[in-house]
Amino acid sequence: MILQSGLRALVCAALVSLGTMSLARAEGTYEIPAGAHFNPDKLARITEFFKNEVATGKIAGANVLIKQHGKPVYHEVFGVQDAVSKAPITDKTIFRLFSMSKAITSVVAVKLIEEGTI
């Protein structure tokens, strides 16, 4: 249960919603560097999760990047940055952040629980 809520908190922290849009688009590649400990099947689940969120209109788009030891393990973009112009999200897209303190605090709390300090 803690792992599931931790994953949910990480997704919330990584996800920046720009409104609702039903256009699903994902592009990007990911290669797992030598020595990285990531399961490709689980990374594919991240892709499916965000594709579903965009397709159902819960979010307009997202840019997800996971790094390990400074090397990208997973990087994909989903959806659009503007629902009117349908401009796709890119690495240069600027996101406005609102009320992110709860998402960030929950990630830190889960990390402290995993370390046994809480």
Distance CA 12, CA 81 (A): 18
H and E: helices and strands count for the chain: 3, 3
Distance CA 77, CA 24 (A): 10
Q: What is the pLDDT of residues 44-81, one digit of tens each?
A: 899 999 999 999 999 999 999 988 878 888 999 999 98
Bigger pLDDT: 70 vs 28? 70
pTM above 0.85, yes or no: no
Distance CA 52, CA 37 (A): 26
Amino acid identity of residue 89, one-letter, is: I
Distance CA 76, CA 47 (A): 8
Is the model's pLDDT at 9 over the cut of 80? no
